[in-house]
Amino acid sequence: MSEVVFDTQSGDILTRTGEASQSQSVRPSRGLPLTIRHLRKSFGNQEVLCGVDLHVPSGQFVAIVGRSGCGKSTLLRLIAGLETADTGSISFGEQVRRQDIRMMFQEPRLLPWARALGNVQVGLGEERNEPDAQARADLALAEVGLSDRRGNWPAVLSGGQKQRVALARALVSKPRVLAFDEPLGALDALTRIFMQQLLERVWKEESFTAVLVTHDVAEAVALADRVLLIQDGRIAGDFEINLPRPRERGSADLAQLEGSILRQLLGGQDNGVS
């Protein structure tokens, strides 16, 4: 099916259309694959995760949905290394450095006493004192569209802007896995949509493996390649989202997918919708 084109300038034969556009979305990813085996975690007597097995191929965008208290945030914190598992393993296919895996929290968690640029520099970890630190931080701020805010204190930024600074801080070390813990949960509806588009764009540009925890199924199907449903500490559903990007919000395909995931989410409840 692919059309062969002769490039007059370089003399190379390029393949275009079908294969080319596909190779753009499946171009070799910097992202790390993620393999989780028999993962268990309990807090006191409460078992939060009881045997999670999961493989995420490199560069995939996975969304994790579930009711509150289902263990999805705990799973994410385990992936990000903020908690340690009781049993089981999480591996990334190779030895990872701390700055390869970054986490974005629900709250921006910016240092109020550092300017926007300084907050982004925090994200460089041990490299924050190197001579090019400021240039790298500037680049990350530009990526989230906040170059003109570099000298501002967090106190004067809006909620969305703070979360964008937090995103820049997570991106500046060029992570290969990025974990998102409902980072858009506290934003207003319009800012959310804007932020979702931003997340999708940086994910494409930086090609990291993304794990997004959210309670918003619409957000999950709009962004992710794959949606995992967690119930009672186990993975109870695994949906591939094979829709082309950029996805049109409110389209029938998305709505249908959202509906079927929601049905399963709510079906787990004993007496239907409460």
Task: List contacts with another protein (CB under 8 A).
Answer: 80-82, 98-99, 102-103, 105, 107, 109, 111-115, 122-123, 125-126, 153-156, 169
Q: Please measure the distance between the N-terminal and C-terminal CA atoms of the chain and give it in whole angstroms.
A: 52
Closest to another protein by CB, 123 vs 258, is 123
Minimum Å distance from CB 261 to another protein? 30
Q: Which of helix, strand or coil describes residue 147?
A: helix
**Closest Cα partner for 175 from 124, 138, 136?**
124
**Closest Cα partner for 193 from 250, 241, 140, 146?**
250
Minimum Å distance from CB 209 to another protein? 17
Closest to another protein by CB, 98 vs 249, is 98
Minimum Å distance from CB 102 to another protein? 8
Minimum Å distance from CB 108 to another protein? 9
Closest to another protein by CB, 167 vs 218, is 167
Q: Considering only CA atoms, give the Rg of the chain.
A: 20
Minimum Å distance from CB 173 to another protein? 9
Closest to another protein by CB, 70 vs 103, is 103
**Secondary structure E strands in 57-150:** 61-65, 87-91, 101-104
Which tokens is 106 given? 């629900």
Amino acid at 271: N
Closest to another protein by CB, 125 vs 246, is 125
Neighbour tally for 26: CB within 10 Å: 8
